[in-house]
Amino acid sequence: MAGMSGKRLQKELAKIQGVLPPGISLVSAEDLREWQMDLIVPDNPIYPPDEKYRLRFHFSTNYPIEAPEVVFMLLSTPERKIPMHPHIYSNGIICLDLLDKQGWSPVHNVESVCISIQSMLASNTKAERPPGDAEFVRSNRSRPRDINFLYHDPTV
């Protein structure tokens, strides 16, 4: 594995296999390039406490200098929905500044990204999709990090 990502990911994995904050769990990391994590959102009626959401992390060889690609996955067994949120499209793409080129910093890691997404969901009050969701899902062909989102709502 080229670049610094291999060793860094091995160490993150070793750490994550120990302890994780409540509501966050590692599902798989058989391939160091792609990990899956499950999230539970506490204390928010929009998200039932028994419902888990599956995140897929994809790492380039330049991780952590480059941000990972992080999306929600839609699965039938076990059932995993895409959580309703004004910054999460129905195809799982998340609009969060820390995941894009400008907002990313190499001191972030899988755990801190999960915590940020969890708290973004926990503080959400609107069970809705971003404006233009249907159009975006139909037409988007870019990878998430190449999309220029408009952060029209900096309060979320």
Partner 1 sequence: MASYQADQLKEQGNAAFRNGEYLEAEALYTQAVQRHSRNPLIYTNRANVRLKLQQWDGVVNDCSKSIEITGANAQNHKAWYFLAQGQLGLHHPNEALTSALTAYDQVLHPQPTAKISPKDLETFSAFVLKCKKAKFSARDLERLRRQGDLRAELESMLETQRQRDLDEVTTQLHRSQLGNIEASERSQEISTTLDDKITSLRTVFAAADPANHKAREVPDYVIDMITFEPMHDPVMTKNGHSYERATIYEHLKRSPTDPLTRDPLTIRDLRPNFGLRAACEAFWDSGASEWIADWS
Question: Which CB sits closer to partner 1, 12 or 69?
Answer: 12
Q: Is residue 68 part of the contact set for partner 1 (CB under 8 A)?
A: no
Least separation in angstroms between residue 97's CB and partner 1 is: 10
Among 50, 107, 135, 138, binds partner 1 (CB under 8 A): 107
Given the residues 95, 99, 114, 120, the one annotated as active site? 95
Map residues 10-39 to x or -, x wherever contact with partner 1 holds by CB under 8 A: -xx-x-------------------------
Q: With contacts defined by CB under 8 A, name the span among 44-52, 75-83, 99-107, 141-149 that binds partner 1.
A: 99-107
- Tell me, yes or no, if 114 is annotated catalytic: no
Site for partner 1 (CB under 8 A): which residue of 64, 68, 83, 130? 64
Closest separation between CB of residue 23 and partner 1, Å?
24
Three-class SS of the chain: CCCCHHHHHHHHHHHHCCCCCCCEEEEEEEECCEEEEEECCCCCCCCCCCCCEEEEEECCCCCCCCCCEEEEECECCCCECCCCECCECCCCEECCHHHCCCCCCCCCCHHHHHHHHHHHHHCCCCCCCCCCHHHHHHHCCCCHHHCCCCCCCCCC
Give yes or no for residue 143 binding partner 1 (CB under 8 A): no
* Least Cβ distance, residue 116 to partner 1 (angstroms): 15
User: Is residue 155 near partner 1 by the rule CB under 8 A?
Assistant: no
Residue from the set 42, 48, 49, 106 that interacts with partner 1 by CB under 8 A: 106
CB atoms within 10 A of CB 121: 22
Contacts of 89 (CB under 8 A, 6+ apart): 82, 95, 129, 130, 133, 136, 137, 140
Show which residues are catalytic.
95
